[in-house]
């Protein structure tokens, strides 16, 4: 138990919380454990995990719309993510499982490991309060958030096109206004025009990137 506490970075005042968090329902039923399994802690931990992540995302990404915040949160609190967090901690080694569950590979089962991470989160909350559970959760969530960040791409050109199409009589055009630098380090500047009126300018290392930045500026000026 002490070994796991070292990995968790938290030492329990009441060790029973951690023991319950590691107790699978199969073990509790087989051994008639008085305190029961980790299912109730899992229920609480799921809510704490969601709150901590939602709070962090809301404060860290003030301009991100609700839909994108929801997608980010879902990716950070899903079973795959929580299972990965448990694997980092080596939680499977410490789980209390029935013989049957052990023999069927319960120590490496994704659902069991994910549930255990939520249960441990709740156990830390009950023993040490919200600040401790937040510190514990963010220790795992933040590196994952950094890993997924580069994959996020916003197609500003498509968004702008969809808005303009609502008025069929209007025409949208991207005009290359500048090109500089050597072949291995080019820089392009582009203007996006609506009915021949410039509504956005952008630059980038490729024409496509410059067009995206011009569309982004146009959307901002239009209030989107």
Active-site amino acid positions: 46, 118
- Are 67 and 155 in contact by the 8 Å Cβ rule? The answer is no
> What does DSSP assign to residue 155?
-
Kindly provide the b/e burial profile for residues 120-134, where b requires at least 16 CB atoms within 10 angstroms of the residue's own CB: bbbbbbbbbeeeebb
Tokens of 86: 């448990």
DSSP-assigned beta bridge partners for residue 179: 188
DSSP-assigned beta bridge partners for residue 197: 194
- For residues 180 and 152, give the distance between their C-alpha atoms in angstroms, rounded to a whole number: 28
Write down how long the chain is. 224
- Residue 10: strand, helix, or coil: coil
**Sheet strands side by side (includes 187-194):** 172-180, 187-194, 197-204
Tokens of 203: 């630059």
- For residues 74 and 44, give the distance between their C-alpha atoms in angstroms, rounded to a whole number: 17
- State the binding site: 42, 115, 118
- State the binding site for Mg(2+): 42, 115, 118
What's the angle, vertex CA 46, arms to CA 80 and CA 120, rounded to 5? 85
């Amino acid at each position: 138990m002490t070994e796991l506490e070292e990995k968790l970075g938290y030492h329990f005042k009441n060790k029973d919380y951690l023991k319950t968090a590691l107790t699978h329902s199969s073990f509790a039923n087989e051994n008639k454990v008085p305190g029961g399994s980790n299912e109730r802690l899992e229920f609480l931990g799921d809510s704490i995990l969601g709150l901590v992540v939602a709070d962090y995302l809301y404060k860290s990404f003030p301009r991100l719309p609700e839909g994108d915040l929801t997608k980010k949160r879902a990716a950070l609190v899903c079973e795959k993510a929580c299972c990965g967090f448990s694997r980092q901690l080596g939680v499977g080694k410490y789980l209390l499982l029935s013989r049957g569950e052990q023999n069927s590979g319960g120590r490496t089962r994704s659902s069991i490991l994910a549930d255990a991470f939520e249960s441990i989160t709740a156990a830390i909350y009950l023993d040490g309060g919200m600040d401790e559970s937040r510190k514990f959760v963010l220790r795992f969530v933040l590196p994952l958030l950094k890993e997924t960040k580069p994959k996020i791409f916003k197609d500003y050109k498509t968004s702008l096109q969809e808005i303009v199409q609502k008025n069929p009589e209007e025409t949208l055009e991207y005009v290359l206004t500048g090109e500089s630098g050597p072949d291995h380090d080019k820089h392009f500047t582009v203007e996006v025009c609506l009915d021949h009126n410039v509504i956005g300018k952008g630059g980038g290392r490729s024409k496509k990137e410059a067009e995206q930045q011009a569309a982004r500026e146009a959307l901002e000026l239009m209030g989107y």
